[in-house]
Structure 1
Amino acid sequence: MLKNLDPLLNADVLHALASMGHGDEVVICDANFPADALARETVLGRLLRLDGVDSPRAVRAVLSVLPLDSFVDHPALRMEVVGDPHAVPAVQQEAQHEVNAGEGREVPFASLERFAFYERARRAYCVIATGEQRGYGCFVFKKGVLLAADEPRQPA
């Protein structure tokens, strides 16, 4: 057991998150998402799992160790509701709360149409499937950098 790590973060997930570089993306998805098929096309090439938890709880765990990219306008994306792109279901509202809490600031989700989301997932570093049963519990996060206090705030 390790201290100060969310107990949901298993060895495979931690290794993937640590291996990601600045600008790489991680997908956290619900149980309806074609996770295995799309994960085979990612950089990692296999699906990671956080079974038994909902998407917002998985977002909290991942963002407890993963900094979001502060050099882009939208480091956090959500899948749009088909036929109602401006709708924000409860699962996405809950995840938004976790993002803001994890970053200590407002980081609003940008939305991505369903099929564009699938294409983005294919290009991600990895996909993490959850046990989320509600639809639209699917998110993309772009990894940022951790800089020392005296370093210039420019990406490498």
Structure 2
Amino acid sequence: MLKGVPKILSPQLLKVLCEMGHSDRIVIADGNFPAESMGKDAIVIRMDGHGVPEILDAVLQVFPLDSYVEKPFSLMEVMPGDDVETPIWDTYEEIEKKYESRGKEAIGHIERFAFYEEAKKAYAIIATGETALYANVMLQKGVVTD
């Protein structure tokens, strides 16, 4: 156990977050996301008993978002024709604005299949038990300036 580090951040996840460099990406995936097949070249961390919001909040406490790109926080767009509501995105926005001075301006959307292609290039994918649909988040790491 460490002081000041959210308990949900496992030793494996902390190691991965520390290993990541500027511009590396991590995906926090919902329970429907094909984490294992998308993560063939990534580190896949299983956190099935947790939802995306609690993991996102913990990660953003220690993970700087990239200030050199316009949208370092990306969500998977809802496919046209899918009758899906995404209230979890409001939750993400509330979490993100606690840690990112740009607020929701740093949040972007990536078309579903383009999101999958970008996820294949991620450094790591966290597989969660999140049941909300279109609840996937991709974060691009920035630099620590303190």
> By the TM > 0.5 criterion, same fold?
yes
Root-mean-square deviation over aligned CA pairs: 1.7
Residue matched to 1:98 = 95
Q: Equivalences for 1:7-46 in 2 at 5 Å? A: 7-42=7-42, 46=43
Segments of structure 1 that go 5 or more residues without pairing to the other structure are 149-156
Q: What percent identity do the matched residue pairs reach?
A: 38
Q: Which has the higher contact order (CA 8 A, sep 6+)?
A: 2
Rounded to whole Å, the distance in 2 between the matches of 1:21 and 1:145 is: 8
Rounded to whole Å, the distance in 2 between the matches of 1:141 and 1:118 is: 14
Amino acid aligned to 1:80: E
CA contact (8 A) 1:24 1:125 kept: yes
Rounded to whole Å, the distance in 2 between the matches of 1:92 and 1:28 is: 13
Residue matched to 2:144 = 146
CA contact (8 A) 1:76 1:107 kept: no
Amino acid aligned to 1:6: P
Segments of structure 2 that go 5 or more residues without pairing to the other structure are none
The total of aligned residue pairs comes to 144
Amino acid aligned to 1:22: H
CA contact (8 A) 1:63 1:99 kept: yes
**Cα deviation 1:54-100 (Å, max 9, x = unaligned):** 11111101111100011111101000011169x87111111111111
Rounded to whole Å, the distance in 2 between the matches of 1:107 and 1:71 is: 16
Residue matched to 1:76 = 73
Displacement of 1:105 after TM fit?
4.3
When normalised by structure 1's length, the TM-score is 0.86
